[in-house]
Amino acid sequence: MERYSVSVRDLAVGYDGKPVLRNVSFDIGQGEIVTLIGPNGGGKSTLLRSIVRQLETLAGTVEINGRLLNSISARDLARQTAVVLTDRIRPEMTTCREIAAMGRYPYTGPIGILSKEDEMQVDAALKAVEMSDYAQRDFNAVSDGQRQRVLIARAICQQPKIIVLDEPTSFLDIRHKLELLSLLRRMAREQGITILMSLHEIDLAQKISDKILCVENGRPVRFGTPEELFTEDGIRSLYELENGCYDPLFGAVELPGAQGRPQVFVLSSGGTGIPVYRKLAGNGIPFAAGILYTNDLDCHLAHRLACEVVTEEAFCPISDPACARAMALIREVPRVIDAGVKIGPCNSRIRDLILEAKTLGKYGEA
């Protein structure tokens, strides 16, 4: 039987005996990246804190590398799991290196003097997060991103098999977010460290994770691959999205488009329409789009933002009904925008549309 890195069975977690989540079960293999997603207050932190024994579990079991969580001694647990928490710490007069060195705690002697080996581990960890140059700086005098990296270095110093991170990307700008996640991915791939974390950025969660855990207060936890869980409806119900939607294919969030009678008809292909769609949606102008092949990038987004999309089967010549519908729309709307449509042998009838728009005096280029 495969031994899991983290194995959770029928777990109930919460505060003061009141469960926030119950019947949570999942298994994480070694070196996997598992991300918890879900709305604020949904129980992500509660679950993470329970798994690393910061909180008492209310029911069920947690196994870490095949051993029951409650049977592991504090020191052994500290050698197997390390955490990066959301608690903002403000230690006074402490250098980054001293913070990182705190991760050697489970390995040092009774008064915590670092051995040569410990010093080497600390240096290596600081190097891994590219903070060697800032080692002697005061922890309070570096940026949020650097602080976060120092805390990760601290976790690395524990030489853990599992690192648990609670929203490690909060307070970071996009560059540092990407750097941080690539670092975590490297640790998982190269050293087989299991990563269990919560993220707010569902787009990043979708891209980095091997498995996803959808956590929502009062509802059963869903566990699976990103492909299984990142569906438009899944995300919509998880976060109770009413305005806009999450596009699992693009991994992007879209604001909702305006509804009503179309005011503009957009001609485009191969992604040239996307900025125009977003601008129209942003200005609250309902629009129609066409004639788009069903495999076109524009077609995918137009379905979310436009009030009507005229489509045609991929790689087929434009059919009469599609052409007729597009003509009708062009006659109806006050403006036609050409966002840069490519015309080839299959879709040559687009020229007729452009001609019609020009004769009606509605034609314009984006």
Partner 1 sequence: MFAMLSFALLVSAVLNIALGSVQIPLRDIAEVLLRRNDNRMYEDIIWQIRLPRLVMAAVLGGGLAVSGFLLQTFFGNPIAGPFVLGISSGARLAVALTMIVFLDRMQAASSWVLVFSAMIGSLACMGFILLLANRLKHMSTLLVAGIMIGYICSAVTDFIVTFASESDIVNLRGWSLGSFSGMNWENIRAASAIIGTGFALSLLMSKPMGAYQLGEAYARSVGVNIRWFRIALILLSGALSACVAAFAGPISFVGIAVPYLIRRLFNTSRPLIVIPAAFLGGAVFCMGCDLIARTAFVPTELNVSTVTSVFGAPVVIVMMLRRRKAG
Looking up tokens 């125009």 gives: 276
Counting contacts by CB under 8 A, is residue 170 touching partner 1?
no
CB of 172 to partner 1, least distance (A): 19
Sheet containing strand 363-365, strands side by side:
308-312, 287-293, 264-267, 335-338, 363-365
Residue 21, helix vs strand vs coil: strand
Counting contacts by CB under 8 A, is residue 108 touching partner 1?
yes
Counting contacts by CB under 8 A, is residue 16 touching partner 1?
no
User: Strands 162-166 and 81-84: what pairing?
Assistant: parallel
- 69-95 in b/e burial notation, b at 16+ Cβ within 10 A? beebeeeebbbbbbbbbeeeeeeeeeb
Write phi, then psi, for 80 (nearest 5 degrees).
-105, -30
Please report, as residue ranges, which positions from 26 to 65 form the binding site for partner 1 (by CB under 8 A).
49, 52-54
Counting contacts by CB under 8 A, is residue 105 touching partner 1?
yes
Please report, as residue ranges, which positions from 65 to 104 form the binding site for partner 1 (by CB under 8 A).
73-75, 77-78, 81-83, 85, 87, 89, 91-95, 98-99, 102-103
Residue 104, helix vs strand vs coil: helix
Nearer to partner 1, 5 or 81 (CB): 81
Please report, as residue ranges, which positions from 212 to 241 form the binding site for partner 1 (by CB under 8 A).
none
Task: Give 138's DSSP letter.
Answer: B
Tell me the site size for partner 1, rule CB under 8 A. Answer: 34
Nearer to partner 1, 112 or 317 (CB): 112
Counting contacts by CB under 8 A, is residue 114 touching partner 1?
no
User: How far is the C-alpha of 18 from the C-alpha of 310, rounded, in Å?
Assistant: 53
CB of 94 to partner 1, least distance (A): 5
Residue type, 54: Q
CB of 103 to partner 1, least distance (A): 7
Nearer to partner 1, 150 or 333 (CB): 150
Counting contacts by CB under 8 A, is residue 262 touching partner 1?
no
Site string for partner 1, 119-158 (x = CB under 8 A): ---------------------x-------------x---x
Strands (E), the chain: 6-15, 18-28, 33-37, 59-64, 67-68, 81-84, 162-166, 194-198, 211-214, 222-224, 245-247, 252-254, 264-267, 287-293, 308-312, 335-338, 363-365
Q: Which residues bind partner 1 (CB under 8 A)?
A: 49, 52-54, 73-75, 77-78, 81-83, 85, 87, 89, 91-95, 98-99, 102-103, 105-106, 108, 110-113, 140, 154, 158
